[in-house]
């Protein structure tokens, strides 16, 4: 029986087609056992230590019974990931667009309260037993999903590098330049690599507590640095120039919030299948929203110190986020230096989702990638992040602004296609997915509809983006320097085009 989207297929037919087009779970396990040890004893030893040895194959109900994730893990994991110096740096960047502090705060609050709902929703997809990049095959198609794979790997590598640079800048400031930023990047990425090799069980164990030390850092910094901050130090431009600054600030804050969409589901695949989705949503939403709002607000406040204090301005230009943070903690003396170390190391839990999910993204390249151990891809992601991070450190401010914007455009396309597939073509029913077809080329769409929507979406981005090296024709009409409206145009063109092209794909291919 021909397979159509949202319609179950005969299980015998499905199994026969899968056997021709996708590796079985036994094949995958054999690949791991062969690479680890021919008799599998080493693999069993790893399991005894709760070290993850599997890949992107769908997690069964039986497998969820061992080392089961809890709902509160969805909160503490994201608390640790966002209670980070990179979050502080994003707040500082938002202040650098020229808006007054209270205008920045309003944007940080309102954008995060709404945008953080998106990764919180996609986090519930983990109950399917599939990682996010694999789940995307049901909307992007088996071959169209390669776009998801490539851009997800690029985005996680970029975030890995950027987050590491944020931490490295703190070590650079603390050491008065004796610890170069490239060395800090290597230190942070190496620790992240070790934790990601251990796998999801150890990640959840560590992240239950890793958010607490940096939270203390931000509280102390807010108190000791308060006298150097001035909410009225920067005045928002009037008219179109003010609108341009606001649009650019919104773009950066929005991009940071939605960046977790591509991997949020990956950390819930071990939860019991009967876990209420609303509990995962709320836990994830709190875990992302609360630290993001608090730390970004502190970052925007710290930037006001660069406007009223010349020493702060010099420190920011010389050491990035580490400069103002060091001066804010200066009254704390030796304890303040200890807190700077903790602030730098906050990049570790911040980077865990990027390095860990990089390996899961890579395993979606095809059957051959399934046979490559997850640890090998984690190591490749580590090398890529170190390489990019060491190179990007020299041009960090422009790199951060540009990267945040471009990755935001891609994430919008990913989200719009998934949402419209689920709502329009699957009628918002999880029963309209054939979960056993996740690796079958014959049972999944090719992806023509998503590919076309992808092209239209990036056309919208090209028209509306405003980054350091390029201003789109529409963005250039907003204010003297231009305003970033790339996200809005990306969502519009992608959202309008996908239903049309997906309908045509279903009509002429049956999938």
pLDDT in tens, 221-252: 999 999 999 888 888 888 888 888 888 898 88
CA 298 from chain centre, in angstroms, equals: 21
Among 471, 87, 469, smallest CA distance to 247 is for 471
Angstrom distance (rounded) from CA 507 to CA 504: 5
Q: Retrieve residue 187's tokens.
A: 């230190």
DSSP 426: S
Average pLDDT of the segment spanning 262-276? 91
| C-alpha torsion sign, points 104, 109, 114, 117 | positive
Q: Per-residue confidence at 16, pLDDT binned at 50, 70, 90?
A: very low
pLDDT of residue 41 exceeding 70: no
The tens digit of pLDDT for each residue in 124-135 reads 999 999 999 999
3-state secondary structure 116-171: CHHHHHHHHHHHHCCCHHHHCHHHHCCCCHHHHHHHHHHHHHHHHHHHHHHHHHHH
pTM of the model: 0.85
Residue 310: burial class (beta carbons within 10 Å; 0-12, 13-18, 19+): exposed
8 Å CB contact between 274 and 64 = no
Q: Domain extents for the chain?
A: 68-394
The tens digit of pLDDT for each residue in 145-182 reads 999 999 999 888 888 888 898 899 999 999 988 888 88
User: What's the pLDDT score for residue 398?
Assistant: 58
What would the CATH number be for the domain defined by 68-394?
1.10.4160.10
The tens digit of pLDDT for each residue in 337-375 reads 999 999 999 999 999 999 999 999 999 998 898 888 888
Q: Retrieve residue 58's tokens.
A: 């769908």
User: What's the pLDDT score for residue 1?
Assistant: 35
DSSP 439: T
Which of the two residues, 46 and 269, has the higher pLDDT score? 269
Average pLDDT of the segment spanning 189-203? 91
pLDDT of residue 411 exceeding 90: no
- Determine which helix (DSSP H) or strand (DSSP E) holds 382, and give its type and residue range: helix 374-392
What mean pLDDT, rounded, does the chain reach? 85
pLDDT of residue 143 exceeding 90: yes
Cα torsion for 408, 411, 415, 421, to the nearest 10°? 130
Q: Rg of the Cα trace of the chain?
A: 23
Angstrom distance (rounded) from CA 475 to CA 486: 8
Q: How far apart are the first and last CA of the chain?
A: 12
pLDDT of residue 330 exceeding 80: yes
Report how far apart, in Å, the C-alpha atoms of 432 and of each of 9, 31, 64, 437, 440 are: 11, 32, 23, 12, 16
User: What is the percent of the chain where pLDDT is above 90?
Assistant: 53
**Neighbouring C-beta atoms of residue 397, cutoff 10 Å:** 16
User: What's the pLDDT score for residue 91?
Assistant: 92
DSSP 218-232: HHHHHHHTGGG--TT
8 Å CB contact between 472 and 452 = no
User: What's the pLDDT score for residue 88?
Assistant: 94
**Neighbouring C-beta atoms of residue 499, cutoff 10 Å:** 16
Backbone φ and ψ of 37, nearest 5° = -170, 135
Which of the two residues, 471 and 346, has the higher pLDDT score? 346
Q: Retrieve residue 70's tokens.
A: 């809890």
Angstrom distance (rounded) from CA 97 to CA 246: 8
Cα torsion for 229, 232, 233, 237, to the nearest 10°? 140
Average pLDDT of the segment spanning 251-255? 87
466 bridge partner residues: 471
Among 485, 482, 488, 487, smallest CA distance to 97 is for 482
pLDDT of residue 3 exceeding 80: no
Residue 236: burial class (beta carbons within 10 Å; 0-12, 13-18, 19+): middle
8 Å CB contact between 129 and 270 = no
User: What's the pLDDT score for residue 5?
Assistant: 35
């Amino acid at each position: 029986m021909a397979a159509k989207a949202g319609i179950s297929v005969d299980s015998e037919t499905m199994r026969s087609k899968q056997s021709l087009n996708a590796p079985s779970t036994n094949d995958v396990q054999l690949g791991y056992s062969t690479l680890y040890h021919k008799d599998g004893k080493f693999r069993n030893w790893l399991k005894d230590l709760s070290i993850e040895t599997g890949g992107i194959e769908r997690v069964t109900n039986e497998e969820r019974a061992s080392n089961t994730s809890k709902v509160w893990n969805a909160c503490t994991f994201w608390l640790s990931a966002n209670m980070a110096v990179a979050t502080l740096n994003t707040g500082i960047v938002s202040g650098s667009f020229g808006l007054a502090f209270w205008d920045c705060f309003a944007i940080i609050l309102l954008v995060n309260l709404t945008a953080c709902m998106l990764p919180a929703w996609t986090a519930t997809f983990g109950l399917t037993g599939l990682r996010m990049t694999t789940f995307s095959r049901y909307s992007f198609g088996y071959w169209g999903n390669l776009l998801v794979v490539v851009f997800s790997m690029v985005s996680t590598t970029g975030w890995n590098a950027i987050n590491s640079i944020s931490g490295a800048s703190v070590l650079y400031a603390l050491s008065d330049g004796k610890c170069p930023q490239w060395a800090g990047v290597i230190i942070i990425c190496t620790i992240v690599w070790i934790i990601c090799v251990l796998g999801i069980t150890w990640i959840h164990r560590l992240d239950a507590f890793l958010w607490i030390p940096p939270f203390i850092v931000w509280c102390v910094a807010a108190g000791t640095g308060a006298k150097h901050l001035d909410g009225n130090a920067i005045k928002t431009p009037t008219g179109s120039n003010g609108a341009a600054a606001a649009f650019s600030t919104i773009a950066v804050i929005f991009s940071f919030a939605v960046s977790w969409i591509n991997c949020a589901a990956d950390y819930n695949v071990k939860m019991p299948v009967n876990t209420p989705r609303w509990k995962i949503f709320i836990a994830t939403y709190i875990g992302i929203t609360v630290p993001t709002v608090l730390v970004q607000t502190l970052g925007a406040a710290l930037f006001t110190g660069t406007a009223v204090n010349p020493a702060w301005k010099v420190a920011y230009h010389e050491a990035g986020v580490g400069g103002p943070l060091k001066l804010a903690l200066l009254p704390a003396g030796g304890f303040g230096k200890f807190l700077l170390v903790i602030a730098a190391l906050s990049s570790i839990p911040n980077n865990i989702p990027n390095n860990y999910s990089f390996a899961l993204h890579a395993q979606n390249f095809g059957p051959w990638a399934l046979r490559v151990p997850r640890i090998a891809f984690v190591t490749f992601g580590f090398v890529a992040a170190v390489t990019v991070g060491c190179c990007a450190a020299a041009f960090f401010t422009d790199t951060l602004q540009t990267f945040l914007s471009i990755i935001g455009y891609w994430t919008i396309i990913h989200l719009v296609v998934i949402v419209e597939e689920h709502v329009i073509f699957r009628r918002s029913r999880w029963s309209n997915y054939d979960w056993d077809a996740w690796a079958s080329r014959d049972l999944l769409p090719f992806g023509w509809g998503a590919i076309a929507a992808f092209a239209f979406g990036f056309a919208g981005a090209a028209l509306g983006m405003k980054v350091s090296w390029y201003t789109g024709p529409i963005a250039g009409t907003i204010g003297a320097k231009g305003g970033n409206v790339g996200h809005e145009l990306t969502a519009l063109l992608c959202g309008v085009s996908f239903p049309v092209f997906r309908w045509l794909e279903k009509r002429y291919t049956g999938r």
